[in-house]
Structure 1
Amino acid sequence: MWVQLVIMIVALVVSYVLRPKPVTPKPAALEDFSVPTAEDGREVTEVFGTVWIDDPNVLWYGNLRTTPIKAKGGKK
């Protein structure tokens, strides 16, 4: 029994020492993202149908408004 316990502990230590070290990924940079831009003087692309645009230029973005959340019921 003691021999098996010692073999198990040795195997555990060896597997811990020989395990692969995790590689830490580099943090994402601004160049890694493709976000729409809004630049003055840039040409406007006309799109007909459904297509994928790699470098969009934002001309207008909806009516942005907020609506307050009202609690229903509960204590007054």
Structure 2
Amino acid sequence: MPFFLIPLLINLIIGIALQALGYLLMPKSKSEKTDEVTDMDSPTAEGGRPIPVVFGEMEVTGVNIVWFGDKATTTRKIKA
């Protein structure tokens, strides 16, 4: 009877070891969230609010957002 449990225990130990190895080899986060990303933690959605149209650089506060995807910021440099 105990001979049936030995393969089960071996598979269980191998599985736990592989999960621990995968956790240790997992890539670490390079940086924390920036201020721009954490600023949008609690968006609001109200009807009738105007939608700002921005040309150039400008700080827009009180944004009316219904949904947005992955929170990230990108910086692009262009030659003009």
Structure 1 length as normaliser, TM-score?
0.37
The structure with the greater share of residues assigned to helix is 2
Structure ID, larger Rg: 1
TM-score between the two structures when normalised by the length of structure 2: 0.36
